[in-house]
Amino acid sequence: MALKLITVLFVLPLLALNANAQQPVTYDVRKYGAKPGADISQALLDAWKEACNSTTPSKIFIPPGTWSLSQVKLLGTNKAPIELQIQGTLQASPDPSKLPNKEGEWITINYVNFLTISGGGVLDGQGQEAWKLNDCHKNKNCAKLPINLSLNFINNSIIQDVTTKDSKNFHVNCISSYNVTFLRFTVSAPGDSPNTDGIHVARSTNVRITDSIIKTGDDCVSMGDETKEVYIQNVTCGPGHGISIGSLGGYATEKDVTGIYVRNCTFIGTTNGVRVKTWPSAPATLTVSDLHFEDLIMDNASLPIVIDQEYCPHNLCNKERPSSIKISNVSIKNVRGTTSTAEAVWLVCSGLKPCENVEVGDIDLKYTGNQGPITTQCTNVKPKFVGKQNPPVCATTAKSA
């Protein structure tokens, strides 16, 4: 008996020590001077610097409540995993001119390996006032508005259970990153807010966007050049412009896009479902391949499926030469629901580089308007058909490739 007790007494502290080693060190922003109602940028930055220097896992804690944050740039590199746990609401100043560095983003996180952002909190960009200043659709020298959350050079990271609301510009940027997961991520902004893309991914590999809800004024998810292995699954988009690849081709240096998988997604009242857009007469010659759009539900989306190699919004480009971007290995399968535009499917490929190896299977779309029968438009593409198509895709307008 005595022996047993001694064993227990001896073993317990060892276990406790072991458990301690697993527990991250917590850096509570209040310990660094964060006070409700005051700008917490400096406190967050000070906590971040300590966390980055920690050789054991650390957690930066932002407690429940509303905290104002003017602007912050959190830079690695870090020595051990960092969790940024946001339980409260971080609020930007409604006035974009109050941003200390007007060229910068609102929250920037760069050069971090093993970052987790979690906590159920809200990033409130307070864009309502700033959107009125956005005239970029008609003014090339328009004022630049800050992106909500800009993640650059981030590896092996997870952003889960956070909401970004009313960003003044793109909600989230994920650039030059590797192995990043957005899980149960919520984006919320009105359908008429300009340029408020939900998540923009570029020059990144292995990005997952899962079980998320994205309501915004521009693209739900947009993907730029040099993007590889993106898995978008169980995402509900709308309002907004749907999921898009591109626009591509604007710069000669752009690199290939490959491996984009959009599965089990729902589009509610969006202007597009899935869309690939490339500029005509563009200098770039990259290839876009391995695009798989499957098990999609359209709920009154305007254009459920779009490949547009003559993309030219506001007619501000030269349509004389076709796009020199090659699109190949595309599958579009099991797309059903309703569309609010009669011309529901566009496969408009380049006359210079026709689309290759496009497979279309099981389409079932119903047009809810009264502008005639539902139709499709196909140029420079000869899809392989499997299963049923309603409407019959490319039945009337296909030109030979």
Interface with ligand NAG by CB under 6 A: which range of 6-14, 24-32, 50-58, 376-384? 50-58
Query: In the window 347-386, what residues touch ligand NAG (CB under 6 A)?
Result: 357
Q: Does 147 bind ligand NAG (CB under 6 A)?
A: yes
One of 34, 67, 85, 105 touching ligand NAG (CB under 6 A): 105
Q: For residue 40, give both structure tokens.
A: 């917490």
If DSSP codes are grouped into helix, strand and coil, which group holds residue 260?
Answer: strand
Q: Are strands 205-215 and 186-188 parallel, antiparallel or unpaired?
A: parallel
Say which of 137, 171, 241, 292 is annotated catalytic: 241
Given 68, 118, 173, 324, the residue binding ligand NAG (CB under 6 A): 173
Q: Let me know if 241 is a catalytic residue.
A: yes
Q: Examine residue 261 and tell whether it contacts ligand NAG (CB under 6 A).
A: no
Closest distance to ligand NAG from the beta carbon of 9 (Å) = 32
Burial (Cβ within 10 Å: 0-12, 13-18, ≥19) of residue 22: exposed
SS3 category, 379: strand
- Determine if 220 is a binding residue for ligand NAG (CB under 6 A): no
Site for ligand NAG in 292-321 (CB under 6 A): 295, 300
Q: Distance between CA atoms of 149 and 164, rounded to whole angstroms?
A: 8
77 near ligand NAG, rule: CB under 6 A:
yes
From the list 307, 388, 279, 297, the residue with the least C-alpha distance to 336 is 297
For residue 45, count CB atoms less than 10 angstroms from its CB and return exposed for 0-12, middle for 13-18, buried for 19 or more.
middle
User: Can residue 289 be called a binding residue for ligand NAG (CB under 6 A)?
Assistant: yes
CA 88 vs. chain centroid, Å, equals: 22
DSSP notation for 152-167 = EEEEEEEEES-EEES-
20 vs 66 by CB, closer to ligand NAG: 20
Residues assigned a catalytic role? 241
Q: Which residues of this protein are in contact with ligand NAG, per CB under 6 A?
A: 50, 53, 55, 76-77, 105, 111-114, 144-147, 150, 152-153, 155-156, 158, 169, 173, 175, 178-179, 184, 211, 213, 233-234, 264, 269, 287, 289-290, 295, 300, 328-329, 340, 357
